[in-house]
Amino acid sequence: MKRRILTHLVLSLLLTALPMIPALAARGTEGTDAMEAEMPEFVEFTMESEPSEPDDQPPFLVLDAAGGEVMEVPVRDYVIGAVCAEMPASFEPEALKAQAVAAHTYAHRLMLLAEGNTDESLKGAHFSNDSSRYQTYYTDAQIREAFGMHYDAYYGKIASAVDAVLGEILTYEEEPIIAAFHAMSGGMTESAEHVWGREVDYLVPVDSSPDTQAPLFEQTAVFSAQEVQEKLESARDGLFLSGEPEDWLQIAEVSDSGTVLRLDAGSSIFTGSEIRSIFSLRSAVFSVAYEDGAFTFTTKGYGHNVGMSQYGANAMALDGKNYREILQYYYPDTELTELW
């Protein structure tokens, strides 16, 4: 049976990152944040695909950002490598399955978009392993380095989760979705419109209150008044901060999910995402205070806050929910579609 991918304007996954959603990666450090953009690119595509057997699936073409060579990576290997890089192996199997579906959907969608891609820097690849722009992918050597003595147990656990869902991706109106995910929300996920400036029917706010119990949920970043002035004036031509420092920064608008939508700095206006990028904050859900010559930004959550919260997914799994329920919750009105 032929499956037609409907044509319409969609939000490309070729998004430059702020970074991509920082998750606590399997190696125990914070990894990359899936799909965080300074400015989303809207593209149009029409593709057709035929269901086939797993062995008939073409490999993903992945540009090695470090070496410059295009790697042919079998679908299973890619999804395993992406899950190893993007979600802690300690997470529940159902959360790992949900992550596997999101990672596969992400890559499959980029593969479809690649036919009309004119980005010469990709050298014909579908996407890159550059974690500042794309979903992170680990080769087996990188997985071994990350897991160390736990390689056999952790790899086996993740591979088992991937194998259970490998033929499935998420679709909306017969198209692979923009499978955005992040480490943890500020307690409620965010609308794509507030982050990327465009509504996406299935990237809407949902309650994710278990995130508030995640490690490092609330963090602070402190900058001297001079640092704040230099960073902001460097980021915006014509901006000059004068007067008393306590009057420099005013949060003027915040979304229902807590994302700063507008911050006034002198005569200039910034979005929370812009401030997050300028000061390398963990999220755009923040408050700011001035005292004793320094500005303190207090952030909640980690990542762009859109789509699936990884810690929220794990909390749901711990509560007995399966991967289908997790995906339906964080990507409402989407469908699981079998590619084979």
User: Residue 311: which of 219, 218, 177, 215 has the closest Cα?
Assistant: 215
pLDDT for the residue 140 = 96
pLDDT for the residue 53 = 59
pTM across the whole model:
0.86
Q: At what angle do helices 151-165 and 140-147 cross, to 10 degrees?
A: 130
Say which DSSP state 334 is in. -
> In the predicted model, is pLDDT for residue 255 greater than 60?
yes
pLDDT for the residue 115 = 76
pLDDT for the residue 30 = 41
Mean pLDDT calculated for residue range 305-332: 98
Of 39-48, 109-118, 271-280, 291-300, the range with the lowest mean pLDDT is: 39-48
Q: Where are the domains of the chain?
A: 3-185+308-338, 218-300
Mean pLDDT calculated for residue range 290-309: 97
pLDDT for the residue 1 = 34
Mean pLDDT calculated for residue range 226-235: 95
Q: pLDDT per residue over 98-133, tens digit each?
A: 999 999 999 999 999 887 666 788 888 999 988 888
Phi and psi (nearest 5°) for 224? -70, 160
> In the predicted model, is pLDDT for residue 8 greater than 70?
no
Distances in whole angstroms, Cα of residue 271 to Cα of each of 15, 195, 252, 300, 318:
18, 9, 10, 16, 35
Q: pLDDT per residue over 184-207, tens digit each?
A: 999 999 999 999 999 999 999 999
Cβ neighbourhood burial of 55 (10 Å; 0-12, 13-18, 19+): exposed
The share of the chain scoring above pLDDT 70, in percent, equals 83
> In the predicted model, is pLDDT for residue 160 greater than 90?
yes
Are residues 336 and 324 in contact, defined by beta-carbon separation less than 8 angstroms? yes
The rounded radius of gyration (Å) of the Cα atoms in the chain is 20
At residue 17 the predicted structure's pLDDT band, cuts being 50, 70 and 90, is: very low
pLDDT for the residue 50 = 53
At residue 253 the predicted structure's pLDDT band, cuts being 50, 70 and 90, is: very high
Mean pLDDT calculated for residue range 30-59: 53
Going by C-beta distance under 8 Å and a sequence separation of 6 or more, which residues neighbour residue 237? Answer: none
